[in-house]
Every structure is written in structure tokens, then in C-alpha cells.
């Protein structure tokens, strides 16, 4: 799949000026050029850019990252994920996106399980899963509306919700389990187009439902 610099910037969160600067200064994320000199990026470069954004949030310098190839950069993501209980949310996001693009269930499973443990259900869904789905939605729009990536992640989410809720209820981890059930029918798929709905479109719905449900919990 080919991405323009605008698309790469929107999905990775790295602005276009920075991408051009890295290419010129470090020879990093060097784009192929079309016959009309338009930059073109591969899926590997997209994942590399997303990983790089996450590593910068971890405090690594671009001068260090730029010396490594995409595989080595991905290894840094894995190292941060495995070694730290408090890795930043972009590490989780990068792994969720990677699992969707590469159809890697093991990456998805380990990411979502650790995310639930260390961030909690509500924070994980609001700060990691929503952002991941929005970015996957952008990839979907570039990819001629081939929805394999979204279907893959959505199917796994459905399984995880079913698997983990019994454990949460049994061990009494949190009463915020209600939020999964409130959000599940609405936030993931647009019924008309089979496409993910953004968080902004469901905040009001979730907020209203939460107020009603919290009253039921306290009664």
C-alpha cells in the first residue's frame, strides 16, 4: 500500500515538515518519488513512523532512532513494552496498529491484556483503543476501503470483551465494567458503512448512559 506524505503525517501524528527534515538531515524515512516528484511511502515506513513517534514519547532522540532500520526500531518498541510497566500510551497504540496491519493476533492479545492491567478498562479504551481505531480508520480510507484490518481488530475486540468480563466480574476488579457494555454497540462500527465511528460521535451517548447506570449502581 502507498501513502502520501499527508496521509503518513495524519496517521503517524508526525507533521510533514518534520518528515521532510528527517529525510534531508538523517536519511530517515526516505520516500520513493512518483514521476511528478511526489513522495510515496510504504506500509513498512508507515509502521516505522508510528513506532518512531512512540519512541520519541519515551525520550529517545531522533538522531539515535534514525540510525536504525525498521526492524530494529520495532525491536525497541517491543523492548519498551516488555520491560516497562508504565510505557506511554503510544507504545500500546503502535502495537495495536501493527497487529491490525500485519494480522498478528499474538501482538493484539498481549497488548490489550497488559493495557487492561496497567491502565484499567476505561483509560485503556479512551486513550489507547479509540486512538488506535481512528488511525486504523485512516488506513482503511487510504486502502480503497478494504476493511480487513478493521474486521480483524473488531473481531478480536469482541472476543476479548467476552473473555475478560467474566474474569473482571468474578474478581470484582471494577464496577466500570458497565462502560464496555454501554460502548460496545456504538463506538466500533458505523452500521451503515461498516466503518469505525470516532470517539467524538459517541461521547454524549456514553456520558448520558453512564449517569443513568451509575445511579443504578448506587441504588
Instruction: pLDDT tens for the chain, 219 residues: list them.
Output: 789 999 999 999 999 999 999 999 999 999 999 889 999 999 999 999 999 999 999 999 999 999 999 999 999 999 999 986 678 899 999 999 999 888 888 898 889 888 878 887 778 888 888 888 888 878 877 764 555 655 666 666 666 666 555 555 565 544 444 444 444 433 444 434 444 444 444 444 445 544 544 454 444
Q: Both 164 and 126 in a single domain?
A: yes
pLDDT for position 121? 73
Residue 197: DSSP 8-state: P
Q: Both 181 and 136 in a single domain?
A: yes
Q: Both 21 and 77 in a single domain?
A: yes
pLDDT for position 164? 56
Residue 190 in 3-state DSSP? strand
Last residue of a domain, one of 58, 82, 106: 82
pLDDT for position 203? 46
Q: Both 99 and 190 in a single domain?
A: yes
Last residue of a domain, one of 52, 82, 112: 82
pLDDT for position 105? 85
Q: Both 54 and 118 in a single domain?
A: no
Q: Both 73 and 176 in a single domain?
A: no
CATH number at residue 41: 1.10.1660.10
Domain hosting residue 175, numbered range = 84-219
CA angle 75, 47, 59 (to 5 degrees): 55
Global pTM? Answer: 0.72
pLDDT for position 199? 42
pLDDT for position 109? 84
Please count the structural domains in the chain: 2
Strand partners, 40: 32
Last residue of a domain, one of 60, 82, 104: 82
3-state secondary structure 36-71: CCCEEECHHHHHHHHHHHHHHHCCCCHHHHCCCCHH
Q: Both 101 and 71 in a single domain?
A: no
Amino acid at each position: 500500500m502507498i501513502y502520501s506524505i499527508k496521509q503518513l503525517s495524519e496517521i503517524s501524528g508526525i507533521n510533514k515538515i518534520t518528515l521532510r527534515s528527517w529525510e534531508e538531515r538523517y536519511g530517515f524515512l526516505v520516500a520513493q518519488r512518483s514521476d511528478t516528484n511526489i513522495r510515496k511511502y510504504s506500509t513498512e515506513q508507515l509502521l516505522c513512523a508510528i513506532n518512531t513517534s512512540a519512541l520519541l514519547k519515551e525520550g529517545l532522540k531522533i538522531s539515535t532512532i534514525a540510525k536504525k532500520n525498521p526492524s530494529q526500531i520495532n525491536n525497541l518498541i517491543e523492548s519498551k513494552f516488555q520491560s516497562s510497566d508504565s510505557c506511554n500510551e503510544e507504545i500500546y497504540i503502535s502495537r495495536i496498529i501493527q497487529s491490525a496491519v500485519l494480522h498478528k493476533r499474538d501482538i493484539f492479545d498481549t497488548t490489550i491484556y497488559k493495557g487492561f492491567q496497567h491502565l484499567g478498562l476505561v483509560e485503556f479504551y479512551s486513550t489507547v483503543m479509540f486512538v488506535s481505531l481512528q488511525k486504523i480508520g485512516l488506513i482503511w480510507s487510504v486502502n480503497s476501503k478494504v476493511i480487513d484490518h478493521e474486521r480483524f481488530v473488531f473481531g478480536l475486540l469482541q472476543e476479548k470483551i467476552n473473555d475478560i468480563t467474566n474474569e473482571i466480574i468474578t474478581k470484582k476488579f471494577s464496577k466500570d465494567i458497565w462502560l464496555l457494555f454501554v460502548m460496545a454497540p456504538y463506538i466500533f462500527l458505523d452500521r451503515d458503512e461498516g466503518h469505525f465511528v470516532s470517539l467524538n460521535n459517541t461521547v454524549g451517548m456514553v456520558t448520558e448512559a453512564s449517569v443513568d447506570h451509575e445511579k443504578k449502581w448506587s441504588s
